[in-house]
Structure 1
Amino acid sequence: MAVNSKQKGARFERQLAGLFRDYGYTEARRTAQYCGNTGDASDVVGLPGIHVEAKHQERMQLYDWMDQAKRDAKAGGAGMVPAVFSKKNNHSILVTMELDDWMKIYREFQAGMELKERVEDGKQEDV
């Protein structure tokens, strides 16, 4: 891998960590995994339960990247959900997950929305 490609990848990993912090995940950071200095194979840590594979490349290889994310998440042994965060120049960041994993997350989201509605309905009745 060329030095410029490594630098581009490192910048993207730092960008992702910053965005995660902006969303309130204050512990998000780029790992030292590329140097072998940590047991966590995620490119960025700080999203609980998510194994982050970060790719900033022009030629998308989503299935290869997802295979890598699944292998690395499994090797981590913590039951992490593998997700590929990818970006091309002058495009927005995309997140790729397998359908079963996405559905698990969506069901949790839906359950939270239903709970919120019940709480709001209860508050309205008391007014």
Structure 2
Amino acid sequence: MGKFSRDKGKRGERMWAALCQEHGYDVHRTAQCRGNTGQAGDCEGLPGIHQEVKFVERLNVRDALEQSRRDAVAGGCQDLPIVAHKVSRGPWTVTMYAEDFFQLYDAWPRSKEKNKVPQPPARGGAGA
């Protein structure tokens, strides 16, 4: 991988961490930025989530999600693997396995009731 690609990847990881921080999560790049590699996600700070971050114009989503799953399993944890990805001048997208999505979704109403989380705003205008 060339220096430009590595730098763009690092920039994407910092951007993802900043977005998470804007939403109140203490996310930061992992120790891999100091040369440690292996099973660590690209970022940490979302307990239970293995974060693989991609900032590329063309992404093989299946390969990236499999990398996240493989690294989470190799790390000996049961974190849910996700891929946070974006293209230049595009919004962030999060991809995950459907079973993991349903696991999170099933937990959300219970969490909402327990913590009295407000309902998300309705999308679209009247009649949408």
TM-score (norm 2): 0.82
Kept in 1: contact 2:38–2:71 (CA 8 A): no
Quote the residue 2:14 is aligned against. 14
Quote the residue 1:5 is aligned against. 5
- Quick one: distance in 2 between partners of 1:40 and 1:47? 16
- Quick one: distance in 2 between partners of 1:44 and 1:79? 16
- Quick one: distance in 1 between partners of 2:33 and 2:108? 33
Larger CA Rg, structure 1 vs 2: 1
The amino acid that maps onto 2:28 is: R
- Quick one: distance in 1 between partners of 2:69 and 2:109? 25
- Quick one: distance in 2 between partners of 1:59 and 1:39? 24
| Cα RMSD for the two superposed structures | 1.8
Deviation at 1:112, TM superposition (A): 2.6
The aligned runs of 1:1-127 (5 Å cut-off) are 1-26=1-26, 28-37=27-36, 41-115=40-114, 116=116
- Quick one: distance in 1 between partners of 2:65 and 2:37? 21
Deviation at 1:38, TM superposition (A): 6.4
Runs of 5+ in structure 1 lacking a partner?
A: 118-127
- Quick one: distance in 2 between partners of 1:43 and 1:93? 15
Runs of 5+ in structure 2 lacking a partner?
A: 118-128
The share of aligned pairs that are identical, in percent, is: 42
TM-score (norm 1): 0.83
Kept in 2: contact 1:31–1:38 (CA 8 A): no
- Quick one: distance in 1 between partners of 2:105 and 2:96? 12
The amino acid that maps onto 2:53 is: A
The amino acid that maps onto 1:89 is: S
How many correspondences in the alignment? 116
Higher helix share: 1
